[in-house]
Homo-oligomer: A and B are copies of this chain.
Amino acid sequence: MTQAPCRVRFAPSGRQGTVPAGTSVLEAAQRLGVDLDSVCGGRALCGHCEVIAVDAAEAPGSASPSSPQLSPMSAEEREFLSRRGPMAGRRLGCRARIQRDLVVEVPETSRLQRQLVRKPCEAHDIDVRPVVHPYFVAVEPPATGDSRGDLERLAEALRREWTLDLSGCDPAVAADLPRTLRSDGGEVTAAVRHDGRLAGVWPGLKDRLLGIAVDVGSTTIAAHLCDLGSGQVLAEAGRMNPQIRFGEDLMSRVSHVMHHPDGREELTRAVRASIDDIVGELVTRAGAGRDDVLELTFVGNSIMQHLLLGWDPTELGRAPFTLVSDRAVDLPARDLGLRVGAGTRAWVLPCIAGHIGADMAGVLLAEAPWERDEVSLVVDVGTNAELALGHRGRLLVASSPTGPAFEGAQISCGQRAAPGAIERVRIDPVTLEPRYRVIGSERWSDEPGFERELPACGVTGLCGSGIIEAIAELYLAGVVASDGRILAARAAGSSRLVAEGATSSYVLVHGEPGIRIRQADVRAIQLAKAALFAGARLLMDRLGIERVPRIRLAGGFGAQIDVRYAMILGMIPDCALERVSSAGNAAATGARIALVDRESRAVIERRVREVERVETATEPRFQQYFVEALAIPHEREPFAELRRAVRMPAPSPRRGPQMRSAVARHFGSAGDAGR
């Protein structure tokens, strides 16, 4: 083999340069700054540096397996590659030595930094830029007279083999080093964080590190276990938030903290124990161990975030709703009571304001409206509605005091979205007879087999989407007037409208108690939707726009709601129907992004610092917009289209079927993952 210089070009990065003949492709990549992954450091153990050799004369893609540009394949390399699947053109970058000019293609899976393509409903692909990476090294055995500790010899090996300087290490990570370094002849894999801290050490080769993104909702805790290297989701799991036993809604939990000396500790302990339980389930399902989890990220509304961290949430229960801190929190996972690796860290996304929690920070990270030219309105409906409006580097947020009506609270027959709740309603505009669908069943109430498929609890109430559809349908049928009155005059020939005191109610399900839409329910929804609409108007004013070209509905409610009905009621500003879409559980997606893309953390921290907060409570125009938005808008632009649209078959709810079944598995029924 001559030492003549060879030109090598890497695709798709386009980086190129000259290396002496005999240089391995991995060395060439490292020298030219090409992102080619490796865990074993060139020992043909991990296969992360797999490449495809292309003749320099040919275009990338036309692989030449027996290319003379590279050294011949050894039996060892051939066997290793064949274990990993079909061979076409593939070579191990650490074994293939460059003999002549060539082009090397680095497949996506061989890059340390890659992109995860997301589902169509999601806003943008996820960059994978791991917070922690495994490095295989051979650590020198200690000699007599060598006073260096095990940790220092490991640091030396990382410096020698990877030009990597350890910046420190949690002392607990070093506790078992003596055994680890001596169990496999000094060959270990060290997990090193991007800041240089040692996060874990295992004997031999370990090329998969795990992380968990946790969405702490007040109702449900949901978590995704991810491969930190590839960004792929390996398992999902969920639980009811056990804090529910201390109070169904957020304010009653704050009240529990205020009135019980150990209240805060109880709530904190409960949520941490449940998360620890989920961690156990996730690693078991992925065939891994708790120590394999190196990183966790958390989103949740401000009260959930405070209780997770053990912070006093009292001030979040009263004006001016002051946070303990508006920054992201980085802490050892064990400080959250989680039994994971000794060097495992937890990163808790920042809250944006007292009412705009870390869950909204997650939504914003997932949606990144500032990255688009076009303005987007992002709406996350929970106990209050959190709104964001932005484009081209600009971002405004507000919280609208909708109250919990959209979650089924403050509605006479309302309930949380859970098995047995009516989620879809259609009302015949002539006969006023309804048909409906219930969570836990795929059939409409007028379809054969409906009764048989009902969940065991039967029909239990109306959830948020159910009440919205019912009121919108009553409006379309002329039973509810534009000002919200239920018109008893429309009762002629129907048993569905009954008088209750001075007002009338619509009977959706006959029986005692049955399920009714009462005048007070219409009023509650009117107040909530007016608040939501007025908040959005305020943001639009601030940005100086009259119409929003694109609306994204985040969260469980956003996925469950039928956008057409939301528009009929005037919950959201005018927008072309096809430009209104669900963002899925964007808060959870945000937690996943923060988990696998270290650079996203600085992005959301900066956004939260720089975001323009619009105060609905003190802005005089909010009151005006609110009053104006109380009526159901009969002259809205796409109204005729909407009227036609809702006569078509309803689309399926967009809740993630996987998460739904994960929760169901725990509760023996199809629960809802809405936060």
Knowing A171-B335, A322-B178, the reply to whether A149 touches B312 (Cβ < 8 A) is no
Contacts of A175 in B (CB 8 A): 309-312, 324
> With A172-B335, A175-B311 in contact, do A145 and B320 touch (Cβ < 8 Å)?
yes
CB–CB B322/A142 < 8 A: yes
Cross-interface CB contact of A326 among B145, B148, B353, cutoff 8 Å: B148
Interface range on chain A (Cβ under 8 Å from partner): 35 or more
Chain B contacts for A352, CB-based, 8 A: 147
With a CB–CB cut-off of 8 A, which chain B residues contact A142?
A: 315, 320, 322
What CA separation (Å) do A352 and B152 show in the bound complex?
13
Q: A314 at interface (Cβ–Cβ under 8 A)?
A: yes
In the bound complex, CA of A433 to CA of B335 (Å): 65
Measured CB to CB, the closest approach of chain B to A364, in angstroms, equals: 15
**CB distance A149 to B309 under 8 Å?**
no
User: Is A354 part of the contact surface with B, judged by Cβ < 8 Å?
Assistant: yes
In the complex, what distance in Å separates the CA atom of A613 from the CA atom of B152? 17
Give this chain's copy count.
2
The interface residues of chain B lying within 8 Å CB-to-CB of A648 are none
In this assembly, does A325 line the interface, its C-beta being within 8 Å of a C-beta of chain B? yes
Write out the residue numbers on chain B whose beta carbons fall within 8 Å of the beta carbon of A144.
319-320, 615, 617-618
Q: How far is the CA of A555 from the CA of B329 in the complex (A)?
A: 44
Write out the residue numbers on chain B whose beta carbons fall within 8 Å of the beta carbon of A174. 311, 324-325
Selected contact of A171 from candidates B177, B310, B314, B322, CB within 8 Å = B310
Contacts of A326 in B (CB 8 A): 147-149, 152
Beta-carbon contact of A325 and B613 below 8 Å: no
A151 to B331, CA, bound (A): 16
Give complex CA distance A353, B315 in Å: 52
Cβ contact within 8 Å between A615 and B145:
yes
Closest residue of chain B to A170 (Cβ to Cβ) is B331
Q: Is A146 an interface residue when CB atoms closer than 8 A count as contact?
A: yes
A250–chain B nearest beta-carbon distance, Å: 16
**Bound complex: CA of A618 vs CA of B143, how far in Å?**
11
Could you name 6 residue pairs across A and B whose Cβ atoms are closer than 8 Å? A142-B320, A144-B319, A149-B351, A174-B311, A178-B312, A178-B322
Which 3 pairs, one residue from A and one from B, show the smallest C-beta to C-beta distance? A149-B323, A149-B325, A151-B325
Chain A interface residues toward B at CB < 8 A = 142-152, 170-172, 174-179, 309-312, 314-315, 319-320, 322-327, 329, 331, 335, 351-354, 613, 615, 617-618
